[in-house]
Amino acid sequence: MKKILLLGASGSIGTQTVDIIRSHPEELQLVGASVGKNREYLESLLQTFSLEYVYCIDTDLELESRYPNTRFYFGSDGLNRIVKEESYDLLVNALVGFAGFKPTLLAINEGKNIALANKETLVAGGDIIMKAVKEKGVDLYPIDSEHSAIFQCLQGHEKKDVRRLIITGSGGSFRDLKREELADVTLKDALKHPVWSMGAKITIDSATMMNKGFEVMEAHHLFDIDYDHIDVILHKQSIVHSMVEYEDGSTIAQLGAPDMHLAIKYALLYPRHKADEKTSRLDWDMLTSLDFKKMDYKRYPLVKLAKDVGKYGGNFGAILIGANDEAVSLFLHERIKFCEIESYIFRTLEAARFVKDPEPEEIIRANQWAIEYVDSLWANS
């Protein structure tokens, strides 16, 4: 029985992870969970599972008093305490944004295995995280569908035979618009992803294609492949989730319906490919073709930027995450226009001070600096 601590249980990945855990009671046991503000969802989990411990941001003594057998954590340090002090076998990190970084690092340092959806962790501090993974000898399973695909395509093969990784991207909500048509797009339009149903922040990251840039950086860290051997290709259908090209010319792809349950389940039940009531299958009688298109880095400059930031390394990933988290938050609150997300990110990186080999505290500082810099750009606009 694998004991699971799920952070971000009330989100898009979190609720799908709960589906998977519920479908495999013979192997998976939810022992702890966190939400942010969604108290109702936390209560539904407390009613369904016998949770040993839980977290929510705001102190709720009334809820705590009704579940005397569960330990409650609240406040800004609660997630860090839970990952360090509690007992579990696998941390599933489905938090959104930079909030995911420190709990992941602390859990690795405790020797825990990680299933990681929170890509911001690797983009902000990938070198630190991967070093800790090696030192502690823990397993890190990717949940992001592209990385789950690459992970699957690498099984049974030699890393030295890998020629390049090919990450597919759907193109996001505005994939049929030219750059000049983006000036007046609305939040409502941006939140309508053509293929995937996801949380608000990553849906905006997909529309700007920052998400694809993050995925290139994530792939670099997870699979230890240099940036010149990671390519992006546009694939509207999101059926081919990514590919690995080998030296002998063979390309191995992983295909599946655009449904995150599959990637989450592989991370939780690795190396098994098991069926359950959430399994969705491709209908090969209906699927007559697969479409691909060359990546256009001028149309999506944030993908190129992410590659450059990744090559610089140091604290720039943390600055990119801080700038993007804050700019997207401003856009979600309808304080800036869609195109300003991109310009705020570029301006923040231009103003940033480079630190070559940052410690975790420097990563946190750089991230905070970027948030404040974006806020100052907005305040002076």
Touching ligand NDP, residues 70-109 (CB under 6 A):
94-96, 99
Touching ligand NDP, residues 167-226 (CB under 6 A):
196, 198-199, 201-202
- Tell me how far apart the alpha carbons of residues 48 and 226 are, in angstroms, rounded to a whole number: 45
Touching ligand NDP, residues 45-74 (CB under 6 A):
57
Residue nearest to ligand NDP (CB): 11
Smallest distance from ligand NDP to CB 296, Å: 22
Touching ligand NDP, residues 343-362 (CB under 6 A):
none
Q: Does 318 bind ligand NDP (CB under 6 A)?
A: no
- How many residues at the interface with Mg ion, by CB under 5 A? 3
- Tell me how far apart the alpha carbons of residues 165 and 244 are, in angstroms, rounded to a whole number: 5
Q: Which residues of 301-329 are buried (b: 16+ CB within 10 A; e: fewer)?
A: bbbbbbbebbeebbbbbbbbbbbbbbbbb
Q: Does 245 bind Mg ion (CB under 5 A)?
A: no
Touching Mg ion, residues 134-173 (CB under 5 A):
144-146
Which of the stretches 115-123, 164-172, 237-245, 329-337 binds ligand NDP when contact is defined by CB under 6 A? 115-123
Torsion angle of C-alpha atoms 297, 230, 145, 189, degrees rounded to 10: -10
- Tell me how far apart the alpha carbons of residues 308 and 313 are, in angstroms, rounded to a whole number: 9
Which of the stretches 4-12, 19-27, 221-229, 286-294 binds ligand NDP when contact is defined by CB under 6 A? 4-12
Among 12, 148, 152, 206, binds ligand NDP (CB under 6 A): 12
Using the 8-state DSSP alphabet, how is residue 354 labeled? P
Contact, 171 vs 209, CB < 8 A?
Answer: yes
If the CB atoms of residues 146 and 342 are measured against Mg ion, the closer one turns out to be 146
Q: Does 32 bind ligand NDP (CB under 6 A)?
A: no
Contact, 116 vs 30, CB < 8 A?
Answer: no
Beta bridge partners of 169: 234
If the CB atoms of residues 99 and 140 are measured against ligand NDP, the closer one turns out to be 99
* Encoded amino acid at 125, one letter: G
Q: CB-based contacts of 44: which residues, under 8 Å, 6+ apart?
A: none
Place of tokens 């962790």: 121
Contact footprint for Mg ion (CB under 5 A) = 144-146
Contact footprint for ligand NDP (CB under 6 A) = 8-14, 34-38, 57, 94-96, 99, 117-120, 144, 196, 198-199, 201-202, 260
